[in-house]
Amino acid sequence: MDDDRWEDDPVDEGSRRPRGRTGLAVGLALLVGIGVGVGGMYWAVSKKMLPVAAATGSGDAHEGDQGDRHSDGQEASTADHRGGHGGGNEGGHDNGKAPAATVELAPRQVAVAGVKSEPVEPRGLTKEIRAVGKLDFDEQRLATVSARIAGRVDKLYVNFTGIHVMQGEKLLDIYSPDLVSTQQEYLLALKNRDRVRESPLPEVLDGANSLVAASRRRLLLWGISEKQIAELEREGEGRIHMTVYSPATGTVIEKKVLEGKYVAAGEPLYVIADLATLWLFAEVYESELGLVRLGQPVEVTVPSYPGRAFQGRVSFINPVLEPQTRTAKVRVELPNRDGLLKPQMFAHATLRVPIGAAVLAVPASAVLDTGTKQYAWVERGPGQYERREIRLGAEVNGFYQVLGGLDKGERVVTAANFLIDSQAQLKAGGAAGGPGGHGGH
């Protein structure tokens, strides 16, 4: 027979061995080795997945060590059973609505993972809106001094910017031929009225009085004060210069005239600003604009005076956003009676908006944000956690206002919630036939 044939061993000519039986032995050895390897890998994977199964509710929930004593078949059966009735959003449906995801952890696993929870309770929340801006003049406290009559500037009493002037203080003298002739007309009208005062004809006296009134009104329109007109009547001689007085108390921020310059009627000469009140234009992001209200108090700080805060109020909210920065200018009216603040200073503004004296709130660390929805893990009992979709309001100093999804007194996970969420995803994968539930075996 072919299997009983002997052939010469190329190494040792004195020995002979059966060729067919050698190949059969080698094949059997390879099969045994492969079987041992596959069995070892399956045992290792089963051991590695056992803690995950226990964390997701597939193993024994009382002690992690007891889970090692269960057979692989028992783990798969338990995982398959709970995967079909588990509470994940990916699990079974009840009346068309997915039940909440749940996770169970043994006490030892809770301690090792460092799971912590805090109660949902009312808190007094105050939202702080921080913005930067720049100080500017109060436009309502700006005064422009213009020439009411054409002429030549012969003398400047205020000859540089930055000087502080009082209301009624002399600014400059203008020589004007028109002013001289108008004063002469007024003096003549006065003399004519005195001459016809004893006239028996009432219409003559009325005409003289009308002429005086018209000349006087013309002087007033040119900026001649009542006091100057009284001096003109008393002295009986017109002046060749008209003195221009400051219409307001403030600081000269613009000077547009020089001595010897001819000016036209209506030409601006000075700009005077009252710096007792300034405006701060703070840049507030559009996401926070809904919390800003007119009359709201604002705390302002500037680098020039560290540690000192100035108090102001919101007086206007610009209805148009800046397209590049997506901010809106919020105008803050800022008292500056001591003159410490200067226009064009950079400043920081803080608006404190009360959200509520007692509103439900959770720590920010308890919130899992997917971008479209927010979730929190609620502690239902020792080692038992349920994922809950929640609705949130404003974030204030590390806390979120709760608008829905949580009740007062419930405890939410604030530490290791990402780990619990990952275990829920593994559980959902096992229920769908993945390795966590040994599906398919």
SS3 278: strand
User: Mind listing the pLDDT tens digit for each residue in 264-306?
Assistant: 989 999 999 999 999 999 999 998 998 899 999 999 999 999 9
Q: Which residues of the chain have pLDDT under 50?
A: 1-24, 26, 28, 31-32, 36, 38-98, 434-441
pLDDT of residue 432: 52
Burial classification of residue 113, based on how many CB atoms lie within 10 Å of its CB (0-12 exposed, 13-18 middle, 19 or more buried): middle
Residue 418 · residue 405 · CB < 8 Å: no
Across 158-206, the runs of DSSP E, i.e. the strands, are 164-165, 170-175
SS3 320: coil
pLDDT of residue 431: 57
Phi, psi of 324 (to 5 degrees): -75, -40
Burial classification of residue 153, based on how many CB atoms lie within 10 Å of its CB (0-12 exposed, 13-18 middle, 19 or more buried): buried
- DSSP letter for 100, please: P
pLDDT of residue 83: 37
For 279-304, b where at least 16 C-beta lie within 10 A, e where not — what string? bbbbbbeeebeebbeeebebebebee
Phi, psi of 62 (to 5 degrees): -85, -50
CA angle 33, 36, 39 (to 5 degrees): 150
User: Mind listing the pLDDT tens digit for each residue in 61-82?
Assistant: 334 444 443 434 443 333 333 3
**Is the model's pTM score more than 0.75?**
no
Nearest-CA neighbor of 196 among 181, 216, 212, 215?
A: 212
CA angle 387, 418, 102 (to 5 degrees): 25
Full set of structural domains in the chain with CATH: 20-99+417-441 (no CATH), 129-138+275-353 (2.40.30.170), 143-272 (2.40.50.100)
